[in-house]
Amino acid sequence: MGNQKTYAPSEEETGEPVRSAVGTKTVCEDSGGNPMEGREPTIEELMVSSPPSHRVLTRRALFKAAVCGFAGLAVYGVEMDRHWLETTHYDVHLPGLPADFDGFRAVQLSDIHIDEFTEPFFLRDAVDHINRLAPDAVFLTGDFVTYQLVTRKFARGSAWQCANILSRIKCPQRYAIFGNHDVMVSENVVGAALKDNGITVLRNWHIPLERSNGRLWLAGVDDPVEGRPDPEAAIPARIRNRPNEPVILLCHAPDYANTLLKHPAGQTVSLMLCGHTHGGQVRIPFMPPVHLPPLGRIYVEGWFKLGSMRLFVNRGLGTVGVPVRFNCAPELTVFTLRAGPLPASGS
C-alpha cells in the first residue's frame, strides 16, 4: 500500500508544545523543539507541556459521592439533629380553668432514654434549660431508661443516674409516669430512684394542684404497652366533672387515648400529655416515619382534638434502636395555661 504519512499540526499552528508518546514512555520537547530525553523534565516544563485535562464522571465517582453524602447525613443525624434541643411554646385554653391558674406554666420532658443512647451531659443541658425557663410545674412522661441492647442490671443503674440529674430541676412541683421501657427494666427500681430524688410518681393516681382558691387535677396512668393502666384509679368518680376543676392526664402512649375515651374517666379529661413516639425519630421528607412503636402509630407528634379532650404528643429527648434523629429534633415543651373561652384559632 506504500508509505502512509500522518499529518500532525506544528507548534506554530496550534500554539501548544508538541508531545508524542511511544508505548508507556513519554517523550517531551522543550519550548525550542529540542528533545528532553536523558533527563527528567522539571515541574514547570511538565505544567507547560501538559494539555488541560477533562474529568470523566464515572460510576466509581458517583458511588464515592453517594457514600460521602450518606456519611454527612449520618454525622448530622448522630451529632447535630440528635442534640438540637427545640423548645416549643403553647398557650393552652382549658374550659373551666380557674382564674388563679391563668398563666400557669408547665414544662414537659419525655423519653430521656439515659445511656442508651442519651448522654448524661445532654440531660444536664435539658435540666439547665428547664431551670432557665423557671416553670411552675414539670411533667416527666416516661421512658427514663432503655431496655434493648444493655442488660437490666445496667439499665437499673442508669435509672439512678437519670433521677440524680433530674433532682437538679429547681421547680419543686415535679411529677412523673412510667413508660414501656421503665416497666421492662423495673417499675420498682425506676420508681424508687425518682422518689428518692424528690419526684412524685403518678402510677394510676392523681394529685390536686392548687393556687389560691383555684384547683385542677393532675392524674397519671401506668404505661399502656407493658404496664397495667387503670383509669378508674387514676381518675376516680369523685374528681370527675367538678366545676372549674379540669383534669390533666399524663400517659406515655398516645394511642391509648382511643381506649380511654370509651371509659367514663377518660371522657372527663381536658388535656392529655404523651410521649413514646419520638415524633417518628427519623423523618425522611415525603415519606412516613421509618418506625413507630405499638400504641404510637396513630398520634405521632403535636396536637390532636379528640372530642372535648385535647391530646399533645411530645417528640422526647432520646432515641431508641439507633442513636440517630433526622428532621425530628428532640423537644422540650412549655404549656402556658389560659382561662376564659377558647379563641377562634382553637389554641
- CA atoms of 114 and 223, how far apart (whole Å): 18
- CA atoms of 35 and 27, how far apart (whole Å): 7
**CA–CA–CA angle 183, 142, 267 (5° rounding):** 100
Q: Which residues pair with 109 in a beta bridge?
A: 140
The DSSP-derived string for 189-211 is HHHHHHHHTT-EE-SSEEEEEEE
- CA atoms of 99 and 109, how far apart (whole Å): 26
Q: Is the pLDDT of residue 61 over 80?
A: no
- CA atoms of 61 and 157, how far apart (whole Å): 48
pLDDT for the residue 6: 42
Least confident of 77-86, 232-241, 267-276: 77-86
Pairing of strands 214-220, 205-211: antiparallel
Q: Tell me the pLDDT tens digit for each residue of 245-265.
A: 999 999 999 999 999 999 999
CATH number of 85-338: 3.60.21.10
Cell 442488660, residue? 151
pLDDT for the residue 239: 98
Q: Are 140 and 346 in contact, with CB atoms under 8 Å apart?
A: no
Least confident of 60-69, 104-113, 230-239, 249-258: 60-69
Where residue 345 falls among pLDDT bands split at 50, 70, 90? low
Residue from 56, 105, 93 nearest 271 by CA: 93
Q: Tell me the pLDDT tens digit for each residue of 106-139.
A: 999 999 999 999 999 999 999 999 999 999 999 9
pTM: 0.79
Cell 447535630, residue? 80
As a whole number, mean pLDDT of residues 186-204 equals 98
Q: Is 176 helix (H, G, I), strand (E, B) or coil?
A: strand
pLDDT for the residue 174: 98
3-state secondary structure 30-60: CCCCCECCCCCCCHHHHHHHCCCCCCCCCHH
Evaluate the CA torsion angle 237, 241, 247, 249 in order and state its sign.
Answer: positive
3-state secondary structure 95-158: CCCCHHHCCCEEEEECCCCECCCECHHHHHHHHHHHHHHCCCEEEEECCCCCCCCCCHHHHHHH
**C-alpha grid cell for residue 275?**
410521649
Where residue 341 falls among pLDDT bands split at 50, 70, 90? confident
- CA atoms of 50 and 37, how far apart (whole Å): 16
User: Looking at the chain, which residues constitute the CATH 3.60.21.10 domain(s)?
Assistant: 85-338
Q: Is the pLDDT of residue 68 over 50?
A: no
Q: What percent of the chain has pLDDT over 90?
A: 74
**C-alpha grid cell for residue 346?**
382553637
Q: Tell me the pLDDT tens digit for each residue of 1-50.
A: 444 444 444 555 445 444 443 333 444 444 455 555 555 556 555 444 54
pLDDT for the residue 347: 63
Q: Are 333 and 90 in contact, with CB atoms under 8 Å apart?
A: yes
Question: What H or E segment, with its residue span, contains residue 159?
Answer: helix 152-166
Mean pLDDT over each residue of the chain, to the nearest integer: 86
Q: What is the maximum span of the chain, computed from C-alpha positions, in angstroms?
A: 117
Where residue 344 falls among pLDDT bands split at 50, 70, 90? low
Q: Is 320 helix (H, G, I), strand (E, B) or coil?
A: coil
Cell 403518678, residue? 202
Q: Give the C-alpha distances (Å, rounded to integers) separating 64 from 53, 59, 74, 76, 78.
A: 21, 9, 15, 18, 21
- CA atoms of 257 and 260, how far apart (whole Å): 5
pLDDT for the residue 38: 52
pLDDT for the residue 72: 42
As a whole number, mean pLDDT of residues 131-149 equals 98
pLDDT for the residue 85: 98
